[in-house]
Every structure is written in C-alpha cells, then in structure tokens.
Amino acid sequence: MLLQAVSQPLTVDIWTWLFNSFNVLVIMLLLYKFLWKPIQTVMTEREELIENSLAHAADSKAEAEKLLAEYREQMQDAQREAQAVIAEATDKAKVAGERIVQEAEQEAAKTLSRAKAEIEREREKALAAIRDEVTSLVVLATGKLIGRTLNEDDHRHLVQEFVDQVAAAEGAADEQVGEVQ
C-alpha cells in the first residue's frame, strides 16, 4: 500500500475535496460576515469623514478668503482715511500759518503806527520846548536891546509875533522834509 500511495501522488478524493470546499465556503462566509462587513462599514465611515473634512476645509478656505478680502478693503479704507486726515491737517496748518502771518503783519503795522505817533508827540514836545526857550531868549534879547523892561502887553505882543514867525518857518521846514522823504 505504501508503494501504491507513492506511485500515484496526485489522486483526487471526492469526499476530501467536498469537505475542503465546504470548509473554505464556511470560512469565507464567516470572514464575510464578521470581518468584511465591519471593515466595509469602517471604510464607509472613514470615507464620509474624509469627505466631510474636505468640505469643511473648502468652507473654511472660502471664509478665510472672504475675511482676507474684507481685511484688505478695511486697510484701503483706513489708508484713505489717514490720507484725508493728513490733507485736512495740512490745510489747517496752512490756514493757521496764513492767519499767524496776517496777525503778525497787523501787529507790526500797529507797532509802526504807535512808533510814528510817539515820534510825532516827542517832536511836538521838543518843538514846544524850543519855542519856550526861544521865547525867553527873545524876551531877554529884546529887553537888552530896548533897554527897558517890557510890560505884560508888550511881552505878549512880541512873543506872539515871534511864535507866528517860528510856526511859519516850521511849516516851511516840514514841507521841505516831507518832500525829501
């Protein structure tokens, strides 16, 4: 028998083949039920999770792009507003500068007119002092020339004549000075 088994190595036994086929089918059914269906369920869930993640990522990207566009618009608005504020400040500074220059010119004109008025007052004082001095000198000189003391009426009359002559001479001198200036 041993020789027979060795002489035909590939013999097919139907019952063994049926039993092995049945075992393979049972194992395949068990694997399908307990292994393939859970793996298929896990794979389907994983696929849905990935699709949801991709959709969420696409939504997040669209929202980020929208926020970026809004941010850029806000930046442009802020730049325009800053430029408007700078332009307004520049205009205000120009107006303030012009106003300050105008006020300075007005103050200078006022100071000049006050100085001219002060000079005129001092000139009048000096002329009055000169008239008084000239009057007293004239009275002295007249008294010496006449050789007598003048009474009050003579004195007034002489002084009035002299003052009139000096005033006339002064008016002529003022006209000459006015022409020179």
Q: What is the pLDDT of residues 26-71, one digit of tens each?
A: 999 998 888 888 889 999 999 999 999 999 999 999 999 999 999 9
Token pair of 44 as six digits: 């389907």
Q: Is residue 128 part of a domain?
A: yes
Q: Is residue 138 part of a domain?
A: yes
Q: Is residue 154 part of a domain?
A: no
Q: Is residue 74 part of a domain?
A: yes
Q: Is residue 31 part of a domain?
A: yes
Number of H helices, E strands in the chain: 4, 0
Asked if pLDDT for residue 1 goes beyond 60, the answer is no
Calculate Rg over the CA atoms of the chain. Answer: 64
| Percentage of the chain modeled with pLDDT above 90 | 53
Give the pLDDT confidence score for residue 160 in this predicted structure.
78
Q: Which range marks the domain in which residue 48 is found?
A: 13-149
User: Per the structure, how many domains does the chain have?
Assistant: 1
pTM beyond 0.75, yes or no: no
Q: Is residue 179 part of a domain?
A: no
Q: Is residue 60 part of a domain?
A: yes
Mean pLDDT score, 12-37: 90
Alpha-carbon distances, residue 19 vs 5, 8, 134 (angstroms): 21, 21, 166
Q: Is residue 125 part of a domain?
A: yes
Token pair of 75 as six digits: 């930046």
Cβ atoms within 10 Å, residue 170: 13
